[in-house]
């Protein structure tokens, strides 16, 4: 590509394909990463469409593949897609709640060549797990973990962390050891969509966060490679933003259930961007040529304070979705940065987290999705 500073930066190929096969999910987690208006999206890609996407993305260089959702196991053709992906040379990851995993399916997934299973828990206790997911799934998840180990899959345990379970981090680590996971992702909640709606309930206090960090550091020192602990401090508390998906359109290609191609799962609510569909464009056209994927590549789009900031090459201006949700401007500096003129919004959210939440939790369900759309009429729910 051109060295001209007005032109797009050199475009690297996508290395990761996130295949969001469906928004259907039996769980109702109030921090779900699916869009608030997911209930309006019901036109799922066919098996043949997905196989074409897998082939085209692999040809461009994608090698990590996440089958995600919703609950990907609700797609009865999952095994067909795993087999295709395996044959193409992808490393295949299944990202699941465990709901729907049984002996028959895990056997067929193994035969299809699935490489790894990421299993989510909502907490180390049955009570909080089942409360947060609004399902009786804790015991089911324990059985799913046994199946995963029994069939020799590597296992990542994922637990979204927030004020309702952050004080259980020690026990969550014990649960990961108990089920034989090789990695534990303690995924501090990122506040988009459902999690933003419920932020006052979910954001931990600074004291909670510091206690959890100390626990993780102490356990990590002992555990080493036996159980690898991933714990990323939430950007709200850091005063600096995180790179959005390793950089907008640099590494990760998400394809949502209806075929909309996105630089990240949360991006579809961004206004003024027309995200291309895999139904009408090739992956090559989408990745290299579409205005939406080129919009935030490189640095030329950056406003102040990013434009003159020496850290712009590290954080790339932060997250575009967070910029939009917190400042109303998708091209603004991410307000998680303490140099942002909108950083006060983040400080206010942290302050609110020190108080008891005043609104009830909104659990993710088709009904609440439709209710939010009816009352706000906006896909961001604002």
Partner 1 sequence: MTDSTPTANSAHPRIVPLYRLQWEEVQQAHVLLFPEGMIKLNASAGQILLRCDGMRSTGTIVAELEHAFSTTGLGADVEAFLRFATDKGWVEWVDR
Distances (CA, A) of 379 to 26, 38, 194, 270: 22, 9, 11, 9
Q: Which of 21, 27, 17, 137 is nearest to 80 (CA)?
A: 21
Q: Find the binder of partner 1 among 86, 163, 170, 183 (CB under 8 A).
A: 183
Query: What's the min distance (Å) between Cβ of 152 and partner 1?
Result: 9
Residue closer to partner 1, measured from CB, 182 or 282? 182
Query: What's the min distance (Å) between Cβ of 159 and partner 1?
Result: 15
Query: What's the min distance (Å) between Cβ of 220 and partner 1?
Result: 13
* Number of chain residues interacting with partner 1 (CB under 8 A): 19
Site string for partner 1, 44-63 (x = CB under 8 A): ----------------xx-x
Query: What's the min distance (Å) between Cβ of 61 and partner 1?
Result: 3
Q: Find the binder of partner 1 among 13, 26, 180, 303 (CB under 8 A).
A: 13
Q: Which of residues 290-329 bind partner 1 (CB under 8 A)?
A: none
Choose one: 151-159, 170-178, 279-287, 337-345; the region binding partner 1 (CB under 8 A): 151-159
> Rounded to 5 degrees, what are φ and ψ at 345?
-60, -40
Q: Find the binder of partner 1 among 154, 239, 305, 341 (CB under 8 A).
A: 154
Query: What's the min distance (Å) between Cβ of 369 and partner 1?
Result: 28
Helix axes 103-112, 78-88, angle to 10 degrees: 20
Straight-line distance from the first to the last Cα atom of the chain, in angstroms, rounded to the nearest whole number: 39
Q: Which of residues 86-125 bind partner 1 (CB under 8 A)?
A: 89, 91, 93, 115-116, 118
Query: What's the min distance (Å) between Cβ of 121 and partner 1?
Result: 16
The answer to whether 282 contacts partner 1 (rule: CB under 8 A) is no
Contacting positions for partner 1 (CB under 8 A):
13, 15, 60-61, 63-64, 66, 89, 91, 93, 115-116, 118, 154-156, 182-183, 225
């Amino acid at each position: 590509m051109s060295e001209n500073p007005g032109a797009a930066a050199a475009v690297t190929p996508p290395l990761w394909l996130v295949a969001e096969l469906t928004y259907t999910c039996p769980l109702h987690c109030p921090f779900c990463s699916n869009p608030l208006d997911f209930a309006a999206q019901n036109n799922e890609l066919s098996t043949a469409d997905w196989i074409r996407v897998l082939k085209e993305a692999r040809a461009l260089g994608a090698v990590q593949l996440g089958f995600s959702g919703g609950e990907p196991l609700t797609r009865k053709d999952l095994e067909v897609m795993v087999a295709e992906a395996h044959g193409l040379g992808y490393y295949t990851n299944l990202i699941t709640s465990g709901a729907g995993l049984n002996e028959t399916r895990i056997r067929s997934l193994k035969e299809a060549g699935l490489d790894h299973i990421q299993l989510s828990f909502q907490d180390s206790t049955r009570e909080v797990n089942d409360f947060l997911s609004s399902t009786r799934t804790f015991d089911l998840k324990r059985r799913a973990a046994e199946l995963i180990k029994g069939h020799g899959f590597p296992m990542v345990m994922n637990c979204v962390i927030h004020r309702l379970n952050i004080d259980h981090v020690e026990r969550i680590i014990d649960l990961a050891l108990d089920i034989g996971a090789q990695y534990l992702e303690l995924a501090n909640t990122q506040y988009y969509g459902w999690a933003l709606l419920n932020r006052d309930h979910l954001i931990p206090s600074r004291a909670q966060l510091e206690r959890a960090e100390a626990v993780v550091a102490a356990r990590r020192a002992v555990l080493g490679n036996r159980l690898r602990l991933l714990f990323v401090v939430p950007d709200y508390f850091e005063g600096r933003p995180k790179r959005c998906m390793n950089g907008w359109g640099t590494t990760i290609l998400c394809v949502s259930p209806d075929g909309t191609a996105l630089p990240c799962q949360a991006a579809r609510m961004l206004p003024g961007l027309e995200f291309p569909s895999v139904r009408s464009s090739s992956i090559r056209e989408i990745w290299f040529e579409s205005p939406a994927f080129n919009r935030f590549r490189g640095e030329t789009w950056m406003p102040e304070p990013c434009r003159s900031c020496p850290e712009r090459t590290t954080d790339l201006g932060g997250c575009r979705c967070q910029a939009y949700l917190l400042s109303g401007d998708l091209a603004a500096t991410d307000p998680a940065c303490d140099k942002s003129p909108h950083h006060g919004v983040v400080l206010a959210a942290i302050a609110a987290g020190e108080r008891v939440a005043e609104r009830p939790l909104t659990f993710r369900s088709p009904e609440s999705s439709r209710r939010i759309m009816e009352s706000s009429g906006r896909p961001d729910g604002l």
